[in-house]
Structures are given as C-alpha cells and as structure tokens.
Amino acid sequence: MIRWLALLAVFLTSSTFALDEAELAEFLEAERIEMKMPGLRAAVRYAGGRLVRAAVGLGNVEAGTPLDNDVGMPGGSTGKTFVAALTMQLVEDGHLALDDPVSKWLGEHDWYRRLPNADTMQVGHLLSHSSGLGDYPGTPRFLLSMTGRVLRHGSASYTPEELIRFGKRRKAYFPAGEGYRYSDVGYLVLGRVIEAATGDTYYDLLQERILDPLNLDQARPQDQSVLTGIVPGYTGGASTLRKDGRMKLDPSSEWTGGGLVTTPTMLVEFYAALAEGRVVSEASLEKMLNAGWREPESSGFYYGFGMFVADDRSWFSHGGLWSGYRTHVAHVLDSGTTLAVQTNRDGRVDLVGLIRRLDEVAHRR
C-alpha cells in the first residue's frame, strides 16, 4: 500500500503538476528581462524522470545567435559536487578515508608542508571547507600576477600549486575542523590527494566513474586553454571571450575548483542520480549531507561535502561562477525535483531566488 501511494505521488508530481516547455520559457523570459541577462536557460527534472527544459535570449549577442539547451558553458564551482562525489566513491572503494591526514598523501611535497594546518587537516576537512586554508580569488597578489600574465601573454594560466601558493597565509583561519571558510585552494589540494591516492588523473577518474556511467555526454573536462563549443560570456555587457577564443584566466586552471563545461540538463541528471543512490551509496550521501561545520548563527544552510545543505534538510545545492557565466543547481529532497539554471553573464544575478521561484512554478504553488 505504501509503495503504491509513493508511486502515485511520483506520477502526480511528474505529470499532473509538471511544467511544459512553453510555460518554462515564458517564466524564464520574464526573469531574463528583469535581471538583464543576454541568455537564460533551465532544466527541471521531476521525481519520475520527466525532464522539461527551455532556453531564452541570446547565446552570442554580437552574432544575434539564440541560446539553446545544448551548447556548453563553464559551470564554475558546481563542479565541486562532482569532485566530492568522486572522493566518496574512492572512500567506498578503500582508496581514501575521510579521516586520512592530508599529509599522508602530500607530506613529501615542499609546497604542501608550507601550508598552515599541514599536519592536522584531513580529507574530510577539505571536502567541507573546514581546513582553515585561505583562498586565491580576489587576493592582491593573485590579481597583480594575473594582470601581468594577461598583458604579456593575452591569457593567464596557472598550475594548481601556483594557485595554492597564492592562497597561502602565514596562519590558518582556524584549527582544522573548527570552522568554515569557502576555499578553492582546499579543493585544489583535494585534487592532488585524489591523484596521489589512485595514480590516475582527476579528469580520467571523473570520466570513467561518473560522466560515462551516467551518460553525461554534454559535461566535459575544462582542460583546454580554448574551450570549443561554448557561447560567449558577458561581464558588464562585454564578452569575456577574446577573438582567438581565449579568456583572461585560462579555464583549464580551475581544475578541481570546478573545471567542467556543462548544461542545466547535465546538472539535473547528475544531482538526481546522486540523490537516488546511483553515484554513491545511501550511507555516503548521508555523510555528504550531514558533514561540515555549522555556525551557531547560520543563515539557514551549511556546507556539507561538495554541497550547500538547508538546515532542515529540505534541499541541497551549489552555485557556480566563472568570468561571464553564472550557474546554480538544486535538488529538493521532499519532492524529488531537481532544478538547474544557467546564464551567460556574471555579476549580481540572483540565481538562488530564481531557483526558488522556478520550484514554485514547477509545482504550481
């Protein structure tokens, strides 16, 4: 009886109350105009697997080319959820442990030994941004270096170790495991842990273990200086793509800080697979949802392993920013609905609010 009622609920969610493409496009067009976006697109995946997607506005403003559902965009930090899921697979297979000291895998490297908390941080701390490490985006040293490389070479390319050094501080923000501070540097260190523990490259592991098994054929490694098959991104109305296809910051530098070209369709399929136990075990997903440092006076959410989680466990999500692009994906746990939105402009764009409004429209609330 209970199983029949559950199936009935899925049917009602995925059919009676489901959006159609025209309704989704109408909703997106109003949001696009309100927030002055060149283009905007979204995908909604209901619990029964029904997928609705739409794209509005322009993919290439200069050429007047409409945005579509399938062309690529850098997904920014939404790629961190992929990194975390892969890490949990490696934990399940015994390659890693969440309480492994990071020094077990990287302690022989001089660049690592110079980091604060080098002797105390663990793999789980890197996953939840509770390692106490600093970060590189926005720091004066990094911005000065990037400007110099752009002026000399037209684009700035960095190794993970170079970016990690830009984020290095004399002292940690807090003892490992006793606070929260979002850090791309921590995820770059985690990437090196993954490779040291397996002897394989991160992108090869991701392709073999997640992208190929889930048929995520429109999600691909951001491992080239010039990304083919993407639309231009816009900052302040100006394209972030140079005529030769390069960007100011070489996109291959992002790596395990995000490092994927993707679409809303790929993001909802991945997040749904994660929630449904097709990526990691139920126990591993629980660890991803329950981990992390909770501030006594939080704003209603905390960071687990590779995902932001609502305090009431009603949803988990992640946003992404790359120069000229914004992305957000969320899975609503009670309804089983997964939603993702993506635009080819950056700046002050409220994609979190847009996702919430889209969820309401998707269920006629």
> Average pLDDT by consecutive 10-residue portion of the chain (365 residues)?
38 59 96 96 96 98 97 98 98 98 97 96 98 91 91 92 89 94 97 98 98 98 95 94 91 96 98 98 96 77 95 94 97 96 95 96 82
Phi, psi of 249 (to 5 degrees): -100, 120
The class that CATH gives domain 17-362 is alpha beta
Q: What pTM value is reported for the model? A: 0.93
- Indicate the helix (H) or strand (E) that contains 123: helix 123-127
At 284-337, the pLDDT tens digits run 999 999 998 877 666 789 999 999 999 989 999 999 999 999 999 999 999 999
At 198-218, the pLDDT tens digits run 999 999 999 999 999 999 999
Phi, psi of 174 (to 5 degrees): -165, 165
Which sequence spans correspond to the domains of the chain? 17-362
Average pLDDT, the chain: 92
Give the sign of the dihedral formed by CA 79, CA 84, CA 90, CA 92.
negative
Residues 6+ apart with CB under 8 A from 351: 319, 326, 327, 328, 341, 343
pLDDT at 12: 45
Q: How far apart are CA 261 and CA 216, in angstroms?
A: 11
At 65-94, the pLDDT tens digits run 999 999 999 999 999 999 999 999 999 999
pLDDT at 264: 98
- 6 residue type, one letter: A
pLDDT at 17: 59
Give me the DSSP letters along 252-272.
GG-GGGS-EEE-HHHHHHHHH
pLDDT at 2: 33
